[in-house]
Amino acid sequence: MESTHISALNTKHAGLERQIHEEMTRPAPDAAKIQALKRKKLRIKEEIALN
């Protein structure tokens, strides 16, 4: 059960990475949105590290 939770977190982390990349490659990236996505990604990374 624990590994499925970590797997789900890894999937979310990868999705956030993709969203950040997409936003950064737009003609006019939204810096606030990028920062919010990076914060979410960091929280997920920290949760993965704790498990």
> pTM for this one?
0.87
**Residue 2: what pLDDT?**
73
Check pLDDT > 70 for residue 3: yes
Which amino acid appears at position 2 of this protein? Answer: E
Q: Where are the domains of the chain?
A: 2-50
37 within 8 A of 16, measured Cβ to Cβ: yes
pLDDT digits 0-9 by tens, 12-41: 999 999 999 999 999 999 999 999 999 999
Q: Which two tokens stand for residue 50?
A: 């704790």
